[in-house]
A and B are shown apart, each in its own frame.
Chain A
């Protein structure tokens, strides 16, 4: 069943010299209760796509789409108030770096409880219980202690688990994770991803996992959209990584280091081939 259906999504910003620059250019995709990966190099428009879906692009940025449907709700016609009712409750987003994405002067428990505060009529005690459940769900052993801590008192990995707890406390249908592990120590990345994956599967949520790491996305997602320059250049189905044909994707795959790698030089992106393809697509 389709949870999110997007057609011709465009995000643009005014250029200082006049006119507008499109950073997302006609994105279309459907997302069910599955795990969709979005990969692409820096600046390809991945984050802007996520933020546009969350209704978080502030003027002078502009979002247009022929269709942006979320579980029966037309997002293109949604008021800010309507969006606010969805955000945190039915769709949520895990940001990149817990060091910056958690409020430094508010206790962790209070930050998690906040979604409950504005979306439910639960009593303070009931909220406390939910916070504790959410922290336990991200495998934090002593939730009561952690709830009382301030963000600077926990590690990066723990911070990101707190962030995930904060985003799933109301059991949303869609979760966007924008580079959820790239700020973390390599040793805890897998653990954080596993926790997120487990929650998404068990609660039957849709996940949009944004990353520039094709390898990682291939391991955790059912489908992958490859973005380049604001557009989807390739869609890869389950196990279809080797069949990918677009030069950009091939370049990404070729540059993945392998364990038995004996190359001394990693191949670089064939930008000439890319330019040829782009020239064919766009008159």
Chain B
């Protein structure tokens, strides 16, 4: 890394810190405001969906054998005859208090269901994206630096495989080979049955909860269960990330400033990582963010094959049972994840690209 030529403590261009702090606060306020507005828009969408679908929320509560009087009473108490704007206001208020309604299928509050299933997906997706980035980025860089070499060929094959192989097939083959035959990994589920519920849920992330509880048997079991599905997710995201990294890098390596670097007698490793890779970090942030958001939606295929109690599974079950509150709640969580990742990569963007900073 180059060290900046600015002596530490001396800030570029400004003696007066006051206005800069004010500007920073203003920018932060702006970001919060847009996030809030986007979230409100998301709520409006889920609210409208909830009204439009031909599922009677009253029936869902009273059952289809209730008398007319009970039905009407419940309908009144649910406020379904109030003006839409009031209903929307009530909905927003409820959501802000963490009340997403009851799930018909599980009989529990949707919010507490989501608090259980989302961390399961989050844990798997995070490990998946870490694998995807840690392997995919260097692979893509290497493939671009040695265009046509064996690394490049491997990337092409992996990229194709990432497109062509269905996730459930890879999951099944993986289970048969590494679980049933070789016994290298744990089977379906998040943890061995006899350890289930042994660690108190603090974060909902089983690996971290096991560490907090100091339960190493649980940690080992949870790790052996997550490694295969997370690696498969990682494979798909690395195929995508490597392919994108490679094409971003090739674009940079054709630029004139790469010639400038070589003219200066800079070693090739520095040409690649400093001169070509630095400018693409911004684009990579977007690609990685998108890929991560995709994984956080919950891969239904992988969650089904591995009986993973994640949000993808939950949403699918809810859809099949016409469990509207659960569907809307899960949609809300996924939407919020997208907003968060979008804003996060926006901020990183500004941090990484001097041209976007001004």
Physical interaction between A and B:
yes
User: Chain A interface: which of B2-10, B99-107, B242-250?
Assistant: B2-10
Interface range on chain A: under 10, 10 to 19, 20 to 34, or 35 or more?
35 or more
Which residues of A128-151 are within 8 A (CB) of B? 128, 131, 145, 147-148, 150
Among A105, A119, A128, A167, point to the contact of B5 (Cβ < 8 A).
A128
The interface bits of chain B over 285-305 (1 if a CB of A lies within 8 angstroms of the residue's CB, else 0) are 000000000000000000000
User: Chain B interface: which of A62-70, A95-103, A244-252?
Assistant: A95-103
Residues of A within 8 A of B266 (CB): 84, 88, 114-115, 118
Residues of B within 8 A of A106 (CB): 2, 274-275, 278
Knowing A115-B265, A131-B5, A148-B6 are in contact, say whether A104-B259 is a contact too (CB < 8 A): no
Query: Whole-angstrom distance between the alpha carbons of A7 and B255 in the complex?
Result: 31
Residues of A within 8 A of B264 (CB): 87-88, 92, 114-115, 118, 166-167
Residues of A within 8 A of B263 (CB): 54, 56, 87-88, 92-93, 95, 167
Residues of A within 8 A of B352 (CB): 105
Which residues of A43-66 are within 8 A (CB) of B? 54, 56
> Shortest distance in angstroms between B170's beta carbon and chain A's nearest beta carbon?
38
The interface bits of chain B over 193-209 (1 if a CB of A lies within 8 angstroms of the residue's CB, else 0) are 00000000000000000
- A114 contacts B261, CB within 8 Å? yes
- A102 contacts B6, CB within 8 Å? no
> Shortest distance in angstroms between B120's beta carbon and chain A's nearest beta carbon?
39
Residues of A within 8 A of B270 (CB): 118
B82 in the interface, Cβ–Cβ < 8 Å?
A: no
> Shortest distance in angstroms between B353's beta carbon and chain A's nearest beta carbon?
7
A89 in the interface, Cβ–Cβ < 8 Å?
A: yes
Residues of B within 8 A of A110 (CB): 2-5
Which residues of B139-161 are within 8 A (CB) of A? none
Chain B minimum-CB-distance residue to A97: B256
B262 in the interface, Cβ–Cβ < 8 Å?
A: yes
A86 in the interface, Cβ–Cβ < 8 Å?
A: yes
Query: Whole-angstrom distance between the alpha carbons of A157 and B358 in the complex?
Result: 22
Among B5, B267, B355, point to the contact of A152 (Cβ < 8 A).
B355
A195 in the interface, Cβ–Cβ < 8 Å?
A: no
Among B4, B13, B259, point to the contact of A56 (Cβ < 8 A).
B259
A107 in the interface, Cβ–Cβ < 8 Å?
A: yes
Knowing A110-B5, A114-B2, A148-B5 are in contact, say whether A102-B262 is a contact too (CB < 8 A): no
Which residues of A146-175 are within 8 A (CB) of B? 147-148, 150, 152, 163, 166-167
Among A88, A103, A148, point to the contact of B275 (Cβ < 8 A).
A103
- A147 contacts B260, CB within 8 Å? no
> Shortest distance in angstroms between A174's beta carbon and chain B's nearest beta carbon?
12
Query: Whole-angstrom distance between the alpha carbons of A87 and B12 in the complex?
Result: 32
> Shortest distance in angstroms between A49's beta carbon and chain B's nearest beta carbon?
15
Interface range on chain B: under 10, 10 to 19, 20 to 34, or 35 or more?
20 to 34
Residues of B within 8 A of A88 (CB): 263-266
Query: Whole-angstrom distance between the alpha carbons of A110 and B1 in the complex?
Result: 10
A206 in the interface, Cβ–Cβ < 8 Å?
A: no
B57 in the interface, Cβ–Cβ < 8 Å?
A: no
Query: Whole-angstrom distance between the alpha carbons of A84 and B4 in the complex?
Result: 24
- B355 contacts A150, CB within 8 Å? yes
Query: Whole-angstrom distance between the alpha carbons of A109 and B262 in the complex?
Result: 17
Query: Whole-angstrom distance between the alpha carbons of A102 and B257 in the complex?
Result: 5
Which residues of A106-127 are within 8 A (CB) of B? 106-107, 109-110, 113-115, 117-119, 124
Query: Whole-angstrom distance between the alpha carbons of A51 and B70 in the complex?
Result: 88
> Shortest distance in angstroms between A196's beta carbon and chain B's nearest beta carbon?
15
Query: Whole-angstrom distance between the alpha carbons of A95 and B5 in the complex?
Result: 24
Residues of A within 8 A of B4 (CB): 107, 109-110, 148
Knowing A110-B2, A113-B5, A152-B354 are in contact, say whether A104-B279 is a contact too (CB < 8 A): yes
Residues of B within 8 A of A275 (CB): none
A21 in the interface, Cβ–Cβ < 8 Å?
A: no
> Shortest distance in angstroms between A262's beta carbon and chain B's nearest beta carbon?
41
Query: Whole-angstrom distance between the alpha carbons of A61 and B131 in the complex?
Result: 38
Chain B minimum-CB-distance residue to A92: B263
Query: In the complex, given contacts A106-B2, A118-B270, what are 16 additional A-B residue pairs having Cβ atoms less than 8 angstroms apart?
Result: A56-B263, A87-B263, A88-B265, A95-B263, A101-B259, A103-B257, A104-B257, A106-B275, A110-B2, A110-B3, A110-B5, A113-B2, A114-B261, A131-B5, A152-B355, A166-B260
Chain B residues with CB under 8 Å of chain A are 2-6, 12-13, 255-257, 259-267, 270, 274-275, 278-279, 352-355
A-B pairs, 7 with minimum CB distance = A88-B265, A87-B265, A109-B5, A88-B264, A100-B256, A110-B2, A150-B354
Chain A residues with CB under 8 Å of chain B are 54, 56, 84-89, 92-93, 95-97, 100-107, 109-110, 113-115, 117-119, 124, 128, 131, 145, 147-148, 150, 152, 163, 166-167
Pick 9 A–B contacts, CB within 8 A, sort by A: A87-B264, A88-B263, A95-B259, A96-B256, A105-B355, A107-B4, A118-B267, A166-B264, A167-B264
